Chain A
Amino acid sequence: MILQALNGYYERLLADSSSAIPEFGFSVESVAHCVILAKNGDVVGVHDLRERDGNRVVLKKVVVPKPPKERSGTKAPAYFLWDKSKYVIGCDVDPKGNRQFHTFAFDDFAKRQFGLLEGVEDMGAKAFSEFAKKRKLGDIPSWANDDVMSGRFMVFQLDGEPGFLHEREGLRRIWLQHLEKEAPEDVGQCLITGLSGQAIAYTHPQIKNVQGANTAGAALVSFNATAFESYNKGKGNLNAPVSERAAFAYTTALNHLLAPESPRKLRVGDTTVVFWTEARGEAERFFNFAMGGRHAEDDSLARRLEGYLSAVTKGKYPEELGDSRTPFYVLGLSPNAARLSVRFWHVGTVGDMAAHLGEHYRALALQRRFDSDPEHPSPWHLLKELAPQRDSKNMSPLLFGQFVRSVVQGLAYPQTLLSAAIGRIRADKEVNYLRAAVIKAFLVRNRKQEIPMTLDTTNTDIGYRLGRLFAIVERIQEEAVPGANATVKDRFFASAAATPARTFPIIVKNAQHGLAKIRKDKPGWAINLDKAIQEIVGGIDAATGFPASMPSDKQSMFILGYYQQRQDFYTKKEKNTED
């Protein structure tokens, strides 16, 4: 389904005249120079096609004829009507400024052009043939400076004629005829289109711009080791027959989605996620925003997207996202050496996507500690919080895929999410907004618990109550012994959550001493705290007392109770100062 959906997307883009997607046998490449030819093949001049954007140099994107096979190796063939100086002049300049001559490339350039252009009645074809004939290896023409020979691509133009040489209708036709002749010999049923008797591609074009993969590109479909071969099909892609055209289509569509400036791409951990839809509307942008993609520089757009997010969190569907029944595709890819692996794949509708995002953010909603805390924390924010040292390098790649999948599809969160959160809190004893929000979301969605955003004094869950009690005990210590070296949280948080019966009698007793000290300065406040303790302890079943141990679900309630009780102190304090 993945390749089929990408193939379908390519067909749609091709039919849409406003999108610059190349057709079969062509490719969008970054080109630096344009050589202007006279009709007799002499070079009139060289145009620089690059544009300067501040300090950045932007190469011009040109659709050029390119065979569907990747070229690689020392005997790589020349391109038709465009190439590097290594092929065109037979010489290039390395970064140190040394000139190097390439006999094979020089000869192959001529071979390719003559092979295709011989006997063609076209002004451009004749001029180009003349140009190719006039070259001499070792002779560097005056128009070729070091910049032209620095390894970037050049295209050609006929003097006084509009468009590049390779864009001339006659030459395009020649190229397409050539491709038909060059079709691979293996024939079979294509698994993307289902058509029988198709020419099967032996290799597929590379996929570029996946975070962490080789910059030259990686393969989604490949069989690059003997263990991957089956049924005597060798290392080629005959193991999975895909017609050459379909292979070109799916890779072109995927590369289009992955392009550096693409708004349909986001990075979460080591996974690169692409998504697309057929809807005209802001669905793609919205998804990008809601999942924490690159923020739009346009302020009004960012505000609008934030508005949609608030709307879906309230369970509404913003009309601006387009028809809610439009299919919506999400594909998560992560690199594995020279290959790409599929982390997740989801087919849904725009309406479902919005509803699932809404559910997710509703489950996460929790009173923030600081105003600077994000109201809608992205998956990346949340999972970074669960990584050791908060280093994105330590984020679990598996957890990421599972988490994003559960958000997009509206499924239960992965079980490992809770253990990761509790494990992190136990290790560094820090309960912050993001961690508490993750735990809350997990309990709400996976355990069907109803947890309000702020402190719930009526909650009788033992874990929750003990968490609150712990927060009060910590508070008493903070007031009684300001600036203590090792606080009760540092020493007892993990054991209080896991084995309350062993820990609580000690810390509650210590808290009574602290309370006695507070009573001297602020008797009223001491009574309040004492009341709060009485109220919580009173709610604990006297027959069972403090439980000997608590399972992870109760521990997460403990953490939530602790967080919300602490938040409650802060809120009250603010009120006090206002008074």
Chain B
Amino acid sequence: MSGIKLRVWGDYACFTRPEMKVERVSYDVMTPSAARGILEAIYWKPSIRWVVDRIHVMRPVRFDNVRRNEVDAKVPVGSVKTAMKGGDKPLQLFIEDSRQQRAAMVLRDVEYVIEAHFEYTSDEDRNDGKHLDMFNRRAAKGQCFHRPYLGCREFAAFFEPIEGDVPVSPLADDPARDLGWMLYDIDYARDMAPVFFRPALEGGVVEVAKALAREGVAS
């Protein structure tokens, strides 16, 4: 299956660790599911499924702290339904009543190259050239279904396709670095269970497939 290469970058990124998602702490590098989200924002159809092969880290890992005002509540589904039926209760959430200040440890000045391929989810619409062309054309023109982002919706991602070889990462000469257990993706088929894997940053590259194979975690 032929793959795609996409360069993404931005000023901030937060690939939140699930255990620290209230007072957010980011993983050191982009997670495969965050990369998948970016690809899906640019091009996706029900007949294909993106699989991330490799993530190249193109800038040193740098952290920064920010504090933001958020809310502590969600609008209940029930209230939305009532409002849709024309109920007399207004649908509302007041920031003054449910303000929560949350600190976050986020990444600064990030740049990654995502290498990925797609697989088919069914027998329909199997046309490698078409899907590949559509992705590359859309990426080159800067088209997206929704704005791709780096882990958090407010950290927009800039993107461009890469033709030819991926440039060598400036971290290529650094010693290998264990990234610990990292969220691979959510297994939606099994009651939305989180799946973790153990990647390493070797030569500035996270070999996703290799890490999955090593730990025996199948997606």
Stretch at the interface among A91-99, A112-120, A219-227, A485-493: A219-227
A-side contacts of B71, CB under 8 Å:
227
Give CA–CA (A221, B28) in the complex, Å.
19
Stretch at the interface among B51-59, B84-92, B114-122, B190-198: B190-198
Instruction: Assess whether B47 is interfacial by the CB under 8 Å rule.
Output: no
Give CA–CA (A232, B66) in the complex, Å.
28
Are the C-beta atoms of A194 and B215 separated by less than 8 Å?
A: yes
B-side contacts of A345, CB under 8 Å:
25, 63, 105
Instruction: Assess whether B22 is interfacial by the CB under 8 Å rule.
Output: yes
Question: Shortest distance in angstroms between B28's beta carbon and chain A's nearest beta carbon?
Answer: 8
- Which of A194, A227, A340 is in CB contact (< 8 Å) with B72? A227
Give how many B residues have a beta carbon under 8 Å from the other chain's beta carbons. Answer: 38
Interface of chain A residues 202 through 258 with chain B (CB within 8 A) = 220-233, 239-242
Residue of B nearest to A333 (CB): B23
Instruction: Assess whether A188 is interfacial by the CB under 8 Å rule.
Output: yes
**Known contacts A1-B180, A2-B25, A227-B71: A221-B19 contact under CB 8 Å:** yes
A-side contacts of B18, CB under 8 Å:
191, 239-240
B-side contacts of A222, CB under 8 Å:
22
Instruction: Assess whether B74 is interfacial by the CB under 8 Å rule.
Output: yes
Residue of B nearest to A340 (CB): B23
Are the C-beta atoms of A226 and B72 separated by less than 8 Å?
A: yes
Are the C-beta atoms of B103 and A334 separated by less than 8 Å?
A: yes
B-facing mask of A361-396, CB < 8 A → 1, else 0?
000000000000000000000000000000000000
Residue of A nearest to B72 (CB): A225
Instruction: Assess whether B138 is interfacial by the CB under 8 Å rule.
Output: no
Are the C-beta atoms of A343 and B103 separated by less than 8 Å?
A: yes
Instruction: Assess whether B102 is interfacial by the CB under 8 Å rule.
Output: yes
B-side contacts of A411, CB under 8 Å:
62
> Which of A226, A232, A341: most chain B Cβ within 10 A?
A341
A-facing mask of B28-72, CB < 8 A → 1, else 0?
100000000000000000000000000000000011111100111
Instruction: Assess whether B166 is interfacial by the CB under 8 Å rule.
Output: no
Are the C-beta atoms of A220 and B20 separated by less than 8 Å?
A: yes
Instruction: Assess whether A512 is interfacial by the CB under 8 Å rule.
Output: no
- Which of A193, A224, A231, A402 is in CB contact (< 8 Å) with B22? A224
Are the C-beta atoms of B105 and A342 separated by less than 8 Å?
A: yes
Residue of A nearest to B195 (CB): A189
A-side contacts of B195, CB under 8 Å:
189
Instruction: Assess whether A21 is interfacial by the CB under 8 Å rule.
Output: no
Residue of B nearest to A1 (CB): B180
Question: Shortest distance in angstroms between B97's beta carbon and chain A's nearest beta carbon?
Answer: 12
- Which of A189, A220, A225, A343 is in CB contact (< 8 Å) with B196? A189
Which B residues are within 8 Å of any A CB, using their own CB? Answer: 17-23, 25, 28, 62-67, 70-74, 98, 100-103, 105, 179-181, 183, 186, 192-196, 198, 215
Which A residues are within 8 Å of any B CB, using their own CB? Answer: 1-4, 188-189, 191-194, 220-233, 239-242, 334, 336, 339-345, 398, 401-402, 405, 411
Instruction: List 12 interface pairs A-B (beta carbons < 8 Å), by A numbering.
Output: A191-B194, A194-B215, A221-B19, A226-B74, A229-B74, A230-B21, A240-B194, A336-B101, A339-B23, A342-B23, A342-B105, A401-B65
Closest 10 CB pairs of A and B: A341-B23, A225-B72, A240-B19, A341-B103, A240-B18, A1-B180, A231-B192, A194-B181, A342-B25, A228-B22
Given A189-B194, A240-B18, A341-B105, 9 other A-B residues pairs in contact with their CB atoms under 8 A: A226-B73, A227-B70, A229-B74, A230-B21, A240-B19, A334-B103, A341-B103, A398-B66, A411-B62
